[in-house]
Structure 1
Amino acid sequence: MFTGLIEEMGSLRSVQRRGEAMILSISASKVLEDVKMGDSISVNGVCLTVVDYDRQSFSVDVMPETYRLTNLHSIQTGSVLNLERAMMAGGRFGGHLVQGHVDGTGTIRSRTTEANAVAFAIEPNDARLLRHVVQQGSVTLDGISLTVVSVDRQLGTFTVSIIPHTLRETVLQHKHAGETLNIECDILGKYVDHLLGLRDGQSPSKTGGLTESILRDNGFM
């Protein structure tokens, strides 16, 4: 489990590709301070397991399912990556609950500056992800815990606004229109939607997601 607060940006040292499987070696410093074999580290929002490490880098396996579902398949040697260690019990919890289980990718449709902020409009590559994206709710992009500013269901996009600190400390500084980001929707919203969708034997795909009437019928309003 993670919080979506990026600890540092690492650099892809090398990549071994075997079809849709990969072994990544990533240069880092802070996340290596107390690293152990088998630790979980979020790499661009993807929870991966440390299989080897030294004082300057660590290695992780990427399986075919992760290769297909995330933007890790497109990274090259030298690529900059967001890194976060798994959260510690008793530590400060400044973001939101992040599993590191990516739901899909999204394409940046625009990047605009407004005063001290930079707004990114994201179009999920799977339109169904928008059902779990709520204005003023939380979403994770490349491992970063962010607040949704707006959702445009007609255009099929949502917007997040980035403060200068987040832009400086994450890979978003390098991202522009046309590039992809890993998306993880809020786990609480996904579970509520799923459980309500199973009522009366219905599947979530047939209920159309959360509605005001469903919330009222189940005592939430």
Structure 2
Amino acid sequence: MFTGLIQALGTVEPLGDDRFGIACAAGDSDAILTDLAIGDSVAVDGVCLTVVEILPEGFVATASPETLSRTTLGENLQAYANLETSLRAGSKLGGHFVTGHVDAIGCLDFAVSTGNSWEMRFVAPSTSPFWHQQIAPYLVPKGSIAVNGVSLTIANCDRGGRWFQVAVIPHSYESTNLRHLQPGSPVNLEADILGKYVAKFLGNHPGSPTDITPEFLAEHGFG
């Protein structure tokens, strides 16, 4: 489990079909390598990977075929990857619950500086068959989403879930690889896990309504 608050940047080098060497950027290694042990989980651009070897300035991790098929790890890698170690019991939860299990790949449509933030819009690329099943149903204004492992709040989206827009504060923009994205750059997307469970309950629980109404909320103790 992660929070979507990036701790460091690093570079990713393929070491074979399923092995990757992750090197922390200069000055960032302490945030990731302190107390890191073999078997620990690290989110690499939002992808939960298991550490199999620790290096002086980084680590080696492996990825399953399923992970490679659903993430950017199987594509051209960005210049830098966002890194976050797993959430420890008692730690602050400043973002939202991020599992590191990527749902689909999206791509940057555009990024515009507004003076006090960056407005970024993401859309579904033609190579992402999972978008409409795994991402679109959970895109709601003010909802949470992880983009390359970064916890962001959706500012706007269309009703069909074909695109969504976020406002990124300068700190998040400068300290993550979001600033290196160009239009068309692929990104890993993970929908809010809490939204997934709510949708499953409402859709599959016997007797559950298809819509949340004031009457339904009142009947179940809300209001």
Q: TM-score range by the shorter chain?
A: 0.7 to 0.9
What is the alpha-carbon distance in structure 2 between the residues aligned to residue 107 and residue 200 of structure 1? 37
The aligned counterpart of 1:105 is 105
- Evaluate the alpha carbon distance shift between residue 155 and residue 140 of structure 1 in structure 2; reply closer, same or farther with a 3 A threshold: closer
1:1-221 matches, within 5 Å, as 1-12=1-12, 14-18=13-17, 22-28=18-24, 29=29, 30-76=31-77, 79-124=79-124, 125=128, 126-128=131-133, 129-154=135-160, 156-200=162-206, 211-213=211-213, 216=216, 219=220
Instruction: Give the distance between the partners of 1:105 and 1:154, measured in 2 at CA.
Output: 17
User: How far does residue 173 in structure 1 lie from its aligned partner after superposition?
Assistant: 0.6
Q: Kindly, what percent of the aligned residue pairs are identical?
A: 35
Distance in 1, matches of 2:148 and 2:215, equals 31
> Which structure shows the higher strand fraction?
1
1:214 to partner: Cα distance: 10
Number of positions where the alignment pairs a residue of Structure 1 with one of Structure 2: 210
What's the CA shift for 1:147? Answer: 0.6
Question: What SS is found at the alignment partner of 2:206?
Answer: helix
Structure 2 CA distance for aligned equivalents of residues 140 and 55 of structure 1: 29
- Which is worse superposed, 166-175 or 119-128? 119-128
Q: Distance in 1 between matches of 2:89 and 2:204?
A: 32
In structure 2, what residue type is equivalent to 1:15? P
Q: Distance in 2 between matches of 1:172 and 1:215?
A: 43
Query: Secondary structure of 1:212's match?
Result: coil
User: Which one-letter code corresponds to 2:182 in the other structure?
Assistant: H
Verify the 8 A CA contact 1:196 1:214 in the aligned structure 2.
no
Instruction: Provide, for residues 35-92 of structure 1, a one-character-per-residue CA deviation record: whole Å limited to 9, x for no partner.
Output: 101000000001100000122120000111000101111244x831000000111111
Q: 1:53 to 1:121 in 2, by over 3 A?
A: same
* TM-score when normalising by structure 2: 0.86
More divergent stretch after superposition (135-144 vs 150-159): 150-159
Please tell me the residue identity of whatever aligns with 2:20: L
Provide the rounded CA distance (Å) in 2 between the counterparts of 1:201 and 1:216: 11
Instruction: Judge conservation of contact 1:47–1:100 (CA < 8 Å) in 2.
Output: yes
CA contact (8 A) 1:11 1:79 kept: yes
Distance 1:214 1:189, change over 3 A: farther
Structure 2 distance, partners of 1:133, 1:37, is 35
> Mind listing any 5+ residue stretches in structure 2 that lack a counterpart?
none
Q: Secondary structure at the match of 2:16?
A: strand
Structure 1: tracts of 5 or more residues without a match = none
> Deviation digits for residues 136-183 of structure 1, max 9, x if unmatched?
111111000111101112571110111111111000010121111111
Q: Which moved more, 1:133-142 or 1:120-129?
A: 120-129
Whole-Å separation in 1 of the counterparts to 2:139 and 2:113: 22
Shift in Å, 1:201: 8.5
**Gap change, CA 1:214 and 1:99, over 3 Å in 2:** farther
Change (3 A) 1:212 1:201: closer
Moved over 4 A (4+): none
